Protein backbone atom coordinates (compact mmCIF):
# COMPACT_ATOMS: atom_id res chain seq x y z
CA UNK A 1 0.00 0.00 0.00
CA UNK A 2 1.13 3.60 -0.62
CA UNK A 3 0.12 6.57 1.54
CA UNK A 4 0.21 10.04 -0.01
CA UNK A 5 1.68 11.98 2.85
CA UNK A 6 2.72 15.37 4.23
CA UNK A 7 4.05 15.56 7.80
CA UNK A 8 2.24 18.87 8.43
CA UNK A 9 -1.19 17.40 7.66
CA UNK A 10 -3.20 16.55 10.79
CA UNK A 11 -5.37 14.17 8.73
CA UNK A 12 -2.28 12.33 7.48
CA UNK A 13 -1.01 12.24 11.07
CA UNK A 14 -4.23 10.51 12.16
CA UNK A 15 -3.46 7.73 9.67
CA UNK A 16 0.21 7.54 10.70
CA UNK A 17 -0.72 7.25 14.40
CA UNK A 18 -3.15 4.43 13.55
CA UNK A 19 -0.39 2.67 11.59
CA UNK A 20 1.97 2.95 14.59
CA UNK A 21 -0.64 1.87 17.12
CA UNK A 22 -1.72 -1.16 15.05
CA UNK A 23 1.80 -2.23 14.10
CA UNK A 24 1.35 -1.63 10.38
CA UNK A 25 3.93 1.07 9.64
CA UNK A 26 6.00 -1.36 7.56
CA UNK A 27 2.96 -2.32 5.44
CA UNK A 28 2.76 1.16 3.92
CA UNK A 29 5.13 3.09 1.65
CA UNK A 30 4.93 6.82 2.25
CA UNK A 31 4.76 8.99 -0.89
CA UNK A 32 5.54 12.68 -0.30
CA UNK A 33 2.73 14.89 -1.61
CA UNK A 34 2.41 18.64 -1.79
CA UNK A 35 -1.22 19.76 -2.00
CA UNK A 36 -2.84 23.17 -2.00
CA UNK A 37 -6.38 24.05 -3.12
CA UNK A 38 -5.14 26.24 -5.98
CA UNK A 39 -2.58 23.75 -7.24
CA UNK A 40 -3.87 20.75 -9.14
CA UNK A 41 -0.67 19.14 -10.22
CA UNK A 42 0.11 16.72 -7.44
CA UNK A 43 0.17 12.97 -8.02
CA UNK A 44 -2.46 12.62 -5.27
CA UNK A 45 -4.99 13.89 -7.84
CA UNK A 46 -4.52 10.72 -9.86
CA UNK A 47 -5.94 8.74 -6.95
CA UNK A 48 -8.29 11.26 -5.32
CA UNK A 49 -10.40 13.52 -7.58
CA UNK A 50 -10.79 15.82 -4.56
CA UNK A 51 -7.04 16.46 -4.72
CA UNK A 52 -6.66 15.99 -0.97
CA UNK A 53 -4.35 13.89 1.19
CA UNK A 54 -4.21 11.39 2.80
CA UNK A 55 -4.91 8.89 0.06
CA UNK A 56 -4.15 5.18 0.47
CA UNK A 57 -3.54 3.13 -2.68
CA UNK A 58 -4.05 -0.65 -2.53
CA UNK A 59 -3.10 -3.57 -4.74
CA UNK A 60 -6.52 -5.21 -4.49
CA UNK A 61 -8.93 -2.34 -5.06
CA UNK A 62 -9.43 1.37 -5.71
CA UNK A 63 -7.53 3.96 -3.65
CA UNK A 64 -9.16 4.89 -0.34
CA UNK A 65 -9.84 8.36 1.06
CA UNK A 66 -10.55 10.29 3.23
CA UNK A 67 -8.73 9.88 6.58
CA UNK A 68 -11.83 8.44 8.31
CA UNK A 69 -12.16 5.70 5.69
CA UNK A 70 -8.41 4.99 5.70
CA UNK A 71 -8.13 4.78 9.51
CA UNK A 72 -11.11 2.46 9.78
CA UNK A 73 -9.82 0.27 6.95
CA UNK A 74 -6.36 -0.03 8.53
CA UNK A 75 -7.80 -0.76 11.98
CA UNK A 76 -10.21 -3.35 10.52
CA UNK A 77 -7.21 -5.24 9.07
CA UNK A 78 -6.07 -5.80 12.65
CA UNK A 79 -9.39 -6.61 14.32
CA UNK A 80 -11.06 -3.22 14.74
CA UNK A 81 -10.02 -2.42 18.34
CA UNK A 82 -10.02 1.35 17.73
CA UNK A 83 -13.76 1.33 16.85
CA UNK A 84 -15.44 -0.67 19.65
CA UNK A 85 -19.04 -1.45 18.70
CA UNK A 86 -20.29 -0.57 22.20
CA UNK A 87 -19.46 3.12 21.71
CA UNK A 88 -19.20 3.36 17.96
CA UNK A 89 -21.64 6.25 17.38
CA UNK A 90 -20.13 8.38 20.14
CA UNK A 91 -16.60 7.66 18.93
CA UNK A 92 -17.44 8.51 15.32
CA UNK A 93 -19.02 11.77 16.49
CA UNK A 94 -15.94 12.56 18.58
CA UNK A 95 -13.77 11.85 15.52
CA UNK A 96 -16.01 14.10 13.42
CA UNK A 97 -15.63 16.85 16.04
CA UNK A 98 -11.84 16.52 15.91
CA UNK A 99 -11.85 16.43 12.09
CA UNK A 100 -14.02 19.55 12.10
CA UNK A 101 -11.42 21.31 14.25
CA UNK A 102 -8.78 20.28 11.73
CA UNK A 103 -10.88 21.40 8.75
CA UNK A 104 -11.44 24.86 10.25
CA UNK A 105 -7.81 25.21 11.37
CA UNK A 106 -6.53 24.23 7.91
CA UNK A 107 -8.92 26.69 6.23
CA UNK A 108 -7.52 29.45 8.43
CA UNK A 109 -4.03 28.63 7.15
CA UNK A 110 -5.24 28.57 3.54
CA UNK A 111 -6.89 31.98 3.94
CA UNK A 112 -3.46 33.38 4.59
CA UNK A 113 -1.63 31.30 1.98
CA UNK A 114 -4.02 30.98 -0.93
CA UNK A 115 -5.52 34.48 -0.97
CA UNK A 116 -3.75 37.77 -1.69
CA UNK A 117 -3.57 40.08 1.31
CA UNK A 118 -6.21 42.48 0.00
CA UNK A 119 -8.69 39.62 -0.45
CA UNK A 120 -8.31 37.96 2.92
CA UNK A 121 -11.36 38.05 5.16
CA UNK A 122 -10.77 38.51 8.89
CA UNK A 123 -14.42 37.67 9.49
CA UNK A 124 -13.96 34.35 7.68
CA UNK A 125 -10.90 33.49 9.78
CA UNK A 126 -12.67 34.36 13.03
CA UNK A 127 -15.73 32.37 11.98
CA UNK A 128 -13.50 29.33 11.46
CA UNK A 129 -11.84 29.88 14.85
CA UNK A 130 -15.31 30.11 16.41
CA UNK A 131 -15.97 26.56 15.22
CA UNK A 132 -12.64 25.42 16.67
CA UNK A 133 -13.27 27.14 19.98
CA UNK A 134 -16.78 25.74 20.44
CA UNK A 135 -15.62 22.26 19.47
CA UNK A 136 -12.75 22.45 21.99
CA UNK A 137 -15.22 23.46 24.71
CA UNK A 138 -17.38 20.46 23.82
CA UNK A 139 -14.42 18.07 23.97
CA UNK A 140 -13.24 19.62 27.27
CA UNK A 141 -16.76 19.21 28.67
CA UNK A 142 -19.34 16.84 27.21
CA UNK A 143 -16.84 14.52 25.52
CA UNK A 144 -14.02 14.43 28.07
CA UNK A 145 -15.14 11.06 29.50
CA UNK A 146 -14.77 9.53 26.03
CA UNK A 147 -11.07 10.39 26.07
CA UNK A 148 -10.58 8.04 29.00
CA UNK A 149 -10.10 4.29 28.86
CA UNK A 150 -8.91 2.11 26.03
CA UNK A 151 -7.27 3.67 22.99
CA UNK A 152 -9.83 4.64 20.36
CA UNK A 153 -10.01 6.56 17.11
CA UNK A 154 -11.69 9.38 19.04
CA UNK A 155 -8.61 9.87 21.20
CA UNK A 156 -6.26 9.71 18.20
CA UNK A 157 -8.30 12.24 16.20
CA UNK A 158 -8.55 14.71 19.11
CA UNK A 159 -4.81 14.44 19.79
CA UNK A 160 -3.93 15.09 16.13
CA UNK A 161 -6.26 18.11 16.06
CA UNK A 162 -4.67 19.56 19.22
CA UNK A 163 -1.18 18.92 17.88
CA UNK A 164 -2.11 20.86 14.74
CA UNK A 165 -3.36 23.81 16.79
CA UNK A 166 -0.01 23.88 18.60
CA UNK A 167 1.80 23.63 15.26
CA UNK A 168 -0.10 26.25 13.25
CA UNK A 169 -2.13 28.31 15.75
CA UNK A 170 -0.05 28.44 18.94
CA UNK A 171 -0.94 32.12 19.34
CA UNK A 172 -4.57 31.15 19.95
CA UNK A 173 -3.55 29.43 23.23
CA UNK A 174 -6.26 26.73 23.09
CA UNK A 175 -5.33 25.41 26.59
CA UNK A 176 -6.61 28.53 28.35
CA UNK A 177 -9.78 27.62 30.29
CA UNK A 178 -9.61 24.00 29.14
CA UNK A 179 -7.52 22.42 31.91
CA UNK A 180 -9.01 18.92 31.67
CA UNK A 181 -8.34 18.68 27.92
CA UNK A 182 -4.86 20.20 28.31
CA UNK A 183 -3.98 17.65 31.02
CA UNK A 184 -5.27 14.76 28.93
CA UNK A 185 -3.27 15.92 25.89
CA UNK A 186 -0.06 16.41 27.88
CA UNK A 187 -0.21 12.71 28.72
CA UNK A 188 -1.43 11.37 25.35
CA UNK A 189 1.18 13.37 23.40
CA UNK A 190 3.91 11.32 25.11
CA UNK A 191 2.83 8.14 23.32
CA UNK A 192 5.52 6.79 20.99
CA UNK A 193 3.04 6.96 18.07
CA UNK A 194 2.55 10.68 18.71
CA UNK A 195 6.26 11.35 19.19
CA UNK A 196 7.05 9.49 15.96
CA UNK A 197 4.60 11.60 13.94
CA UNK A 198 5.19 15.16 15.18
CA UNK A 199 4.60 17.72 12.40
CA UNK A 200 7.60 19.79 13.49
CA UNK A 201 9.99 16.82 13.56
C1 LIG B 1 -9.53 16.26 4.68
C2 LIG B 1 -8.10 16.19 4.18
C3 LIG B 1 -7.49 17.55 3.91
O4 LIG B 1 -8.14 18.60 3.97
C5 LIG B 1 -9.63 13.82 5.35
O6 LIG B 1 -8.65 13.20 4.92
O7 LIG B 1 -10.16 13.55 6.43
N8 LIG B 1 -11.64 15.10 4.92
C9 LIG B 1 -10.28 14.93 4.53
N10 LIG B 1 -6.19 17.53 3.58
C11 LIG B 1 -5.50 18.76 3.20
C12 LIG B 1 -4.05 18.72 3.64
S13 LIG B 1 -3.93 19.08 5.26
O14 LIG B 1 -4.45 18.24 6.06
O15 LIG B 1 -3.13 20.09 5.57
C16 LIG B 1 -5.49 18.85 1.69
O17 LIG B 1 -5.30 17.84 1.01
N18 LIG B 1 -5.63 20.08 1.16
C19 LIG B 1 -5.58 20.28 -0.25
C20 LIG B 1 -6.87 20.84 -0.74
O21 LIG B 1 -7.01 20.94 -1.98
O22 LIG B 1 -7.71 21.19 0.12
The secondary structure element, H or E, covering residue 29 is strand 29-32
Number of structural domains (the chain) is 2
Q: Report whether residue 40 contacts ligand 1, using a CB cutoff of 6 Å.
A: no
In a domain, 39, yes or no: yes
What are the pLDDT tens digits along the chain (201 aa)?
A: 999 999 999 999 999 999 999 999 999 999 999 888 887 667 778 899 999 999 999 999 999 999 999 999 999 999 999 999 999 999 999 999 999 999 999 999 999 988 999 999 999 999 999 999 999 999 999 999 999 999 999 999 999 999 999 999 999 999 999 999 999 999 999 999 999 999 987
In a domain, 200, yes or no: no
Q: Tell how far the Cα of 7 is from the centroid of ligand 1, in angstroms.
A: 12
CA angle 140, 104, 1 (to 5 degrees): 95
- Ligand 1 pocket mutation, candidates 15, 49, 106, 160, criterion most atoms within 8 A of CB: 106
Look at residue 39 in the predicted model and tell me its pLDDT: 77
Domain end residue (candidates: 46, 77, 108): 77
Judgement on whether residues 141 and 179 belong to the same structural domain of the protein: yes
In a domain, 56, yes or no: yes
Do strands 55-57 and 2-5 pair parallel, antiparallel, or not at all (unpaired)? antiparallel
Judgement on whether residues 140 and 115 belong to the same structural domain of the protein: yes
Please give the residue range of the domain that contains residue 115.
85-194
Look at residue 41 in the predicted model and tell me its pLDDT: 65
Look at residue 45 in the predicted model and tell me its pLDDT: 83
Look at residue 40 in the predicted model and tell me its pLDDT: 64
Q: Read off the CATH number of the domain in which 135 is found.
A: 1.20.1050.10
Q: Report whether residue 70 contacts ligand 1, using a CB cutoff of 6 Å.
A: no
Q: Report whether residue 34 contacts ligand 1, using a CB cutoff of 6 Å.
A: no
Residues 6+ away with beta carbon under 8 Å from 46: none
Q: How far is CA 6 from the centre of its chain?
A: 12
Look at residue 34 in the predicted model and tell me its pLDDT: 84
Look at residue 84 in the predicted model and tell me its pLDDT: 96
Judgement on whether residues 43 and 59 belong to the same structural domain of the protein: yes
Amino acid sequence: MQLYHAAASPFVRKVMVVLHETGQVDDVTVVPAHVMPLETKDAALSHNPLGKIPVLTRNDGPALYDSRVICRYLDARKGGALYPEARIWELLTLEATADGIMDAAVLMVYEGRARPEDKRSEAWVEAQWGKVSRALDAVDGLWISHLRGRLSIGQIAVACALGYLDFRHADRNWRSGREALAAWYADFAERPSMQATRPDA
